[in-house]
């Protein structure tokens, strides 16, 4: 493993350990008490990197076996399909293992054998009063459903109004989300307005909803966009480790162009191309690692 890949993996492992520890996994790193935790995104991230740390893999599996009732199966399916080429095999191994041990029916996307896994039984139930566990509190109140996750989305976004297509980023069908948004608007919880033949929605009773939802975390991250940027770049870095510098730069530049919309969502501005490709590669490497370190250390 090259130096860039090794440092990237270290940051992603630190991030995953800290997030799982907040959820009740037997870990020691806790830096995300005030950082919104997206459970399905965390499962995907852990699946992607689990071979780098078998203990993280096993403790995350232990938590999922005991707390699978908090997880949205339909959302897992949508998020994995969005990243299928990067995550389908490791996720299917992780998911298939949870299915085999817990007797649940998480989706798998390829034929794999479950791991020879025995739960440690060290995991505890999530402490729902923590700010980071907004998803979990809302799912406890409103069920593990798109309704709970729509409310989490509106409470965690800086923008005030959205179309159904905007909300679809969280991982549910536009039709389902449109019905939910319409229903919320009819109750007066949401406000609906038409702008250029488009229906846009805002959280009308935010103060009341915040009281119900409990303490909001200080830090928010568009987790789906984060995964859709990080996992392709990670794969590209690993695939080009033994190739020439010019090939690395070309592959990364092409991929960054493909990821442009997701980078905008994350407010990530990659370094501009330079004539000296060695200078550019060092600049990119420092930029990319800094973005992961920010999240891993909660300093977004």
Neighbouring residues of 297: CB distance < 8 A, sequence distance ≥ 6:
31
Give the C-alpha distances (Å, rounded to integers) separating 80 from 37, 55, 228. 17, 23, 10
- 25-44: per-residue pLDDT in tens? 988 878 899 999 999 999 99
Share of the chain above pLDDT 70, in %: 99
pTM of the model: 0.95
Residue 106 confidence (pLDDT): 96
Residue 195 confidence (pLDDT): 82
Pick the more confident residue, 297 or 22.
22
Choice among 28-32, 77-81, 173-177 with the minimum mean pLDDT: 28-32
Nearest to 261 by CA among 155, 169, 157, 196: 169
Residue 201 confidence (pLDDT): 94
Residue 30 confidence (pLDDT): 83
Residue 31 confidence (pLDDT): 86
**Which residues, listed in sequence order, are joined to residue 162 by a DSSP beta bridge?**
201
Tell whether the model's pLDDT for residue 63 goes beyond 70: yes
- 121-167: per-residue pLDDT in tens? 999 999 999 999 999 999 999 999 999 999 999 999 877 889 888 89
Residue 165 confidence (pLDDT): 86
Tell whether the model's pLDDT for residue 11 goes beyond 90: yes
Structure tokens at 196: 């250029």
Handedness of CA 260, 236, 21, 114 (dihedral sign): positive
Structure tokens at 56: 């993280």
Tell whether the model's pLDDT for residue 299 goes beyond 60: no
132-213 has CATH 3.20.20.80 classification: no
- Average pLDDT of the chain? 94
Q: E strand or H helix at 178, and its extent?
A: helix 174-187
Tell me whether strands 161-162 and 198-203 are parallel, antiparallel or unpaired. Answer: antiparallel
Structure tokens at 187: 């109750």
């Amino acid at each position: 493993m090259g130096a860039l890949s090794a440092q990237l993996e270290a940051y992603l492992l630190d991030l995953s350990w800290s997030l799982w520890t907040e959820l009740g996994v037997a870990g020691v790193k806790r830096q995300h008490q005030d950082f919104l935790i997206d459970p399905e995104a965390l499962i995907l991230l852990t699946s992607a990197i689990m071979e780098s740390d078998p203990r993280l893999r096993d403790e995350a599996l232990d938590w999922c076996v005991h707390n699978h009732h908090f997880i949205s199966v339909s959302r897992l399916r949508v998020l994995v399909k969005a990243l299928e080429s990067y995550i389908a095999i490791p996720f299917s191994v992780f998911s298939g293992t949870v299915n085999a041990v817990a007797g649940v029916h998480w989706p798998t996307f390829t034929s794999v054998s479950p791991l020879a896994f025995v739960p440690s039984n060290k995991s505890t139930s999530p402490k729902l009063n923590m700010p980071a566990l907004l998803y979990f509190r809302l799912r406890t109140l409103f069920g593990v459903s798109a309704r709970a996750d729509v409310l989490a989305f509106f409470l965690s976004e800086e923008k005030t109004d959205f179309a159904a297509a905007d909300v679809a980023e969280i991982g549910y069908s536009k039709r389902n989300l449109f019905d939910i948004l319409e229903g919320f608007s009819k109750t007066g919880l949401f406000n609906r307005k038409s702008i250029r033949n488009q229906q846009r929605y805002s959280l009308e009773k935010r103060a009341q909803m915040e009281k119900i939802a409990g303490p909001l975390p200080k830090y928010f991250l568009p987790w789906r966009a984060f995964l859709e940027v990080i996992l392709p770049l990670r794969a590209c870095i690993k695939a080009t480790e033994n190739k020439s510098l010019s090939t690395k730069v070309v592959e990364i530049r092409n991929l960054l162009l493909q990821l442009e919309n997701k980078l905008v969502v994350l407010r990530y501005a990659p370094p501009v191309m330079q004539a000296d490709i060695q200078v550019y590669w060092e600049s990119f490497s420092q930029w990319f690692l800094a973005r992961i370190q920010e999240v891993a250390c909660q300093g977004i």
